[in-house]
Structure 1
Amino acid sequence: MSPGDEHDYRGKDQGSRPDDPYSTLGGTRQTRTRLPDGDAGNPGARRPVRNSRSLITITGIVVLLIAAIAFANRGGGSDDDATRNTANPGAGGSAPTAATGTKPVQGKNGTIASGFARDEQGAQSAAANYAVALGSAEMFTKESRHRTLDTVYTPAAADRLRGPQDLAYSAEFLDRLGLDADGNAPKGSTFISRTIPVGTKVLAFDDDSAEVAVWYTGLIGMSGADSTKPVSTTWKTWTAKLSWTGGDWKVTADSESDGPAPVPGDVAASPSDTISKSVEEYGGFTYAR
């Protein structure tokens, strides 16, 4: 319907106005005023003035109703409900991706966080921080690798893994990454290996053991002008079985699988010197569930 048709939208059979949009009462351009029934016998009488206080009262009631509705729809639950839902993220339904609110651990064993709580949240925090340690550049030199294994794993697991790990980080493997036999990068280049947890999930838990999956993205490669292995991203899921040992969570066994991996974005790759500078300037985090 166009604006010019507004005066005739009902149709002639429904008592539409004449074509003159300004006409009233049959086109006479005269207006009749009908007095209220109570004034019919006394045309000169005036209506009493409405008390303004009634209008203020009505307005106040409307404002209170609006405020009550907004408050009811604000969160859908009390603070106690939110605390109960986040205190035990592994119980019922999918675990929330938001932080639970408990402060991160304060302890450190070298550069690796320690002193995790003996609950589901503590197990997830331990797994996230251990994934970061095992994905760091320190794993590519023998001394720091052994130190990391002793911190992350139980003593029995560390003893079992030390030999196979040394074989895995062989001179041939390191050479393919552009490192020398001791795991050092060439002069003028920076070797980058970082793990960034995206989320954690409890697969099993009791008072003395837990199984936690850590979904993470990683950076690995050589940043340098002559590098043939530029820094690239990976997406993995690391699953760790943990045991409460010596007053903390320690890994007894672990495994890794590819993905889930999102579709790569359209951001252009940065120059190698920018990547090297960023790795030096941007520090890592202590992760807590």
Structure 2
Amino acid sequence: MVGDIKYIVIIESLKDTEHLTGRELYDDCIRRKIDYQDKPFTHKYYRVSAKSDFVELLKYYSENASYISGGILLHFEMHGAENKSGLVLSDDTLITWSELVELFRPINIKTCNQLFITMATCYGRFLYKGVVSDKKSPYSGYISASKAVYPEEIINKYSILFEQLIDGGNLVDAYLEMEKHESNFYYKDSEGTFKDGFKSFLEKFNDPEIKAKFIDDCLIETKGAGATIPDEEMTEFIFQKALHDTYKIQKEGFNFRDCK
């Protein structure tokens, strides 16, 4: 079932002077509930500062993802860049959405589309900007916020999420419960990311200037190959077929039917 979780990993990168919300959630909610109630979850907490350590940690999970049985949740407690370009670690270094996506993708592939991301960060919603449309999806789904969020909200809302997740074992069900409490955190799955991305792609290529340039390039290529120059009707057919083929290629990135 989509959203079933067996591994919960908290990764925090906040300064010593800040409210360590990840540590609090882990100690007071996650670890306590799992251990005291003997719930069937594996759980870990990491606190990192340098970008290199953060990258190595995700690479560690990538290298070992094939041995993970059941869905894995990576939860991030750090700041989102004000310009919405990525996450900021406690040493003030930036890791961009594109860099994150490239680190997530091998984990998601090896777990057969069972990687889920939650972010207690400002502007985490913009993770979708790092997605490359013709590559495999880097996650099955993620929960994040599109605006600034604060420690009290993080503790209150994510406590609900983790309690429900640990009780029921399913992240999507836990999110639906959290949503009842007017949360600013939202869930989006990989297919939703794909649809949004392709919608933007269509809007771009329906721009008259961009469409005209595409057609001109096709005509130049056809002429250079010595082929018959297509008429207006055929040119429109070629344009629509190119869009259709692009859709099929991009959609294949979310196909995990061959997983074992």
TM-score calculated relative to the size of structure 2: 0.22
Q: Which has the larger radius of gyration?
A: 1
Structure with more relative contact order (C-alpha pairs < 8 Å, separation 6 or more): 2
More helix per residue: 2
